[in-house]
Amino acid sequence: MGYASDLGTGTVHDICPVTGYPRDRWGHLLQTTSLNDGSVIPDWDKPGIELPNFTSPYGHLEFAIGSGDDFYCFDYEVINAGPRGKFIILHATINSEGGGFIMDAFHGYEVLPVNTMAQESAAVRAAFGLMDQALEWCHHNDIRHTVKGWGQNPAYFPICVARALRPYRLNNPKTNAAYNVRKSNTKAHNIAREMAYGKKD
């Protein structure tokens, strides 16, 4: 499947008063432009219209923590809302083959402003928080994260969020070596942690 089909669609319920984007009945933001040619979708603000999702953790399966059968998966998207500013969507979904369900994680969908360094730091903290939540869920349910199976360490998601917000901090050979094979390295992890929580004393 291609990128567009992996995203899936949602049905417009109303307009988000903060971002100005349409959203579905679960509060998930929807795109207003075509994924094929970038043109504005007619009547995108009308309830009942089907629009592409911005995020789809299970559709993309780019970021995951857990086993092959039971895992958290994540996605993010930075959006520009024009005069309203920039925002980042953080999205986490739980897939449990053992439990027979797939659902958004607790506090698993957030739309956060990222217009200042303080707001960027808060967003990276939130991404680390989702990582910690996933690790706690795995521990509670006796699930081991498979680095080999997913090709990534648990911190890969928050590191990528940090990189999306401040590429100049995480775009150099020392941090890219491990990043490019989807595995977090110490240098990249430390930079992302510093963005989220500040420098250690």
Q: Does residue 178 have a pLDDT over 80? A: no
Tokens read off for 118? 């303080």
Helix ranges (DSSP H) in the chain: 3-7, 57-60, 117-140, 147-150, 156-165, 173-179, 186-197
In the chain, where the domains are located: 1-54, 58-195
* Confidence grade of residue 188 (pLDDT, cut at 50, 70, 90): confident
Exposed / middle / buried, residue 61 (Cβ in 10 Å: 0-12, 13-18, 19+): middle
Q: What mean pLDDT, rounded, does the chain reach?
A: 88
| CB count in 10 Å sphere of residue 139 | 11
187 CB-contact burial (10 Å; exposed 0-12 / middle 13-18 / buried 19+)? middle
Does 177 have pLDDT greater than 60? no
Distance between CA 200 and CA 194 in Å, rounded? 8
Cβ distance 89 to 77 under 8 Å?
yes
Query: For the segment 93-138, what is each residue's pLDDT rounded down to a tens digit?
Result: 999 887 888 888 888 999 999 999 999 999 999 999 999 999 999 9
Confidence band of 181 (pLDDT split at 50, 70, 90): very low
pTM for the structure as a whole = 0.89
